[in-house]
Amino acid sequence: HMVIIDEAVFSPSYVPERLPHREEQIQQLDALFGGWLRNPGRHYPRVVLLGRPGTGKTATLRRFWSTIKNETNVKFVHINCFIYRNFSTIIGEIAKSLNIPFPRRGLSKDEFLSLLIEHLRERDLYIFLALDDAFNLSADVLSTFIRLGQESDRLGAFRIALAVVGHSDSMINNLDPSTRGIMGKFVIRFPPYTRDQIFDIILERAQMGLAPGAYSDEVLQMIADLTGAQSPLDSSKGDARLAIDILYRSAYIAQQSGRRQITPEDVRRATKEVLFGVSEEVLRGLSLHEKLFLLAIVRALKSTNSPYVTFGDVEDMYKMICEEFDEKPRVHTQLWTYLSDLRDKGIVETRLNKRGEGVRGRTTLISIGSEPLDTLEAVVTKLIREELQ
């Protein structure tokens, strides 16, 4: 009873040949970078790609690169800034992918940068640098890389083209005015996918990865309605990654039950396994102890009938969880920083208690409204295990 005939098509790193509804963005990339990539050196091409998670920014970059890579000698250096977040790890990654030996320490930032440019000139290399999910970088590190491309080498060649990827304008607005000016008008936007667009995307994925007859329009439409945006302005929805994930899980459930066809009930079950309000990407971006602290909130909430827990409850739970994972707990003040960050990212809600809520004095109450706690617990635990491996 094979429902899934090609697993690879559903893996997060798979980039399909065609990206429906991103033709315009690929064309914009070609307009900005095509000429330089074919004949590099005469200027500094640069762009910011902006859109919520799952709107195809990474896939579009990779697709664009694979269509043009045979026409250019430029090297593509793709940096995942979830993993590489500071200046020296990014420089290290660039050096590694270019195969250039780099001193690990003892140099200032500026010395590192001029060494990089010098290497590029000596070996006559050009790079197309993509800083993906660059909102993880400090404004300082980001602006260093943005300004880097502005310098031509001693022969007057511009060695670097730059694509910076982010979720929202705030990444750019946080830069100092002169750096902001450099990126200025070079912005490509990735609006949330609408229901119809998601339908097209998952239809193609189903055609590639599922047995013919395993899926119906009805089931695909159901997933598209759950995940697609009502309008391109509704950025609480429109995540193609989520839609593909639900499709894959539905297919898997059907297959495990020994059936040949995905039913609406399979979709409902699959939907309970995934997160809607918070993206897994954002959770992945939290530091290890922030994840442990979030897990503490989830477990504390699960252990009570009340919709709220106090900071004290969570702190006790956090200490137990640290023991469980063999980690040294962070100090009290650091935990408050985590809490306010989790609130800013929309993962938890907090408020001060009122009189008569069964808690003495004034204290902060913490709750999670957006996700089923079991799903959130499973996802966060999985991410923690991955990180501790």
Residue 201 binds ligand ADP (CB under 6 A) = yes
- Tell me which stretch binds Mg ion (CB under 5 A): 34-42, 56-64, 84-92, 214-222: 56-64
Q: Does 58 bind Mg ion (CB under 5 A)?
A: yes
Closest contact distance (angstroms) between CB of 192 and Mg ion is 14
Site string for Mg ion, 82-121 (x = CB under 5 A): ----------------------------------------
Helix residue ranges, H only, the chain: 23-38, 57-68, 87-98, 109-122, 139-148, 170-173, 177-183, 195-209, 217-227, 240-256, 264-272, 280-284, 288-302, 311-324, 332-344, 373-388
Question: What track of x and - describes contact with ligand ADP for positions 212 through 241 (by CB under 6 A)?
Answer: ----------------------------xx
Q: Are the beta carbons of 242 and 227 closer than 8 angstroms?
A: yes
Neighbouring CB atoms inside 10 A of 51's CB total 22
The minimum distance between CB 163 and ligand ADP, in angstroms, equals 12
Tell me the C-alpha distance between 182 and 316, whole Å: 48
Q: Is 51 in the site for ligand ADP (CB under 6 A)?
A: yes
Q: Is 53 in the site for ligand ADP (CB under 6 A)?
A: yes
Q: Which of 26, 37, 59, 300 binds ligand ADP (CB under 6 A)?
A: 59
Q: Which is nearer to Mg ion, 58 or 310 (CB)?
A: 58
DSSP string for 150-163: T---TTS---EEEE
Q: Does 264 bind ligand ADP (CB under 6 A)?
A: no
Query: Would you tell me the crossing angle of helices 288-302 and 311-324 to the nearest 10 degrees?
Result: 120
Q: Which is nearer to Mg ion, 208 or 282 (CB)?
A: 282
For ligand ADP, the closer of residues 204 and 327 by Cβ is: 204
Among 9, 22, 40, 214, the residue binding ligand ADP under the rule CB under 6 A is 22
DSSP state of 354: P
Radius of gyration of the chain (CA): 23
Which residue in 9, 21, 129, 274 binds ligand ADP (CB under 6 A)? 21
Of 149 and 191, which CB lies nearer to ligand ADP in the complex structure?
A: 191
Instruction: Give Cα separations from 33 to 44, 47, 135 (angstroms).
Output: 9, 9, 22
- Using the contact rule CB under 6 A, the part of the chain among 56-64, 121-129, 257-265, 297-305 near ligand ADP is 56-64
**Which of 34, 97, 24, 8 has the alpha carbon at shortest distance from 56?**
24
CB 289 within 8 A of CB 330: yes
β-partners of residue 50 are: 166, 189
Query: Which segment (12-20, 32-40, 136-144, 226-234) binds ligand ADP by CB under 6 A?
Result: 12-20
Which among Mg ion, ligand ADP, none contacts residue 51 (Cβ within 5 to 8 A by kind)?
A: ligand ADP
φ/ψ of 183, rounded to 5, equals -80, -30
Provide φ and ψ at 130, rounded to 5°.
-110, 115
Binding partner at 35 among ligand ADP, Mg ion, none, C-beta below 5 to 8 Å by kind: none
Q: Quick one: 171 or 309, whose CB is closer to ligand ADP?
A: 171
Q: Is 179 in the site for Mg ion (CB under 5 A)?
A: no
Q: Which is nearer to Mg ion, 136 or 144 (CB)?
A: 136
What is the sign of the dihedral through the CA atoms of 374, 377, 383 and 387? negative
Positions in the binding site for ligand ADP (CB under 6 A): 12, 15-16, 19-22, 51, 53-59, 201, 240-241, 244
Positions in the binding site for Mg ion (CB under 5 A): 58
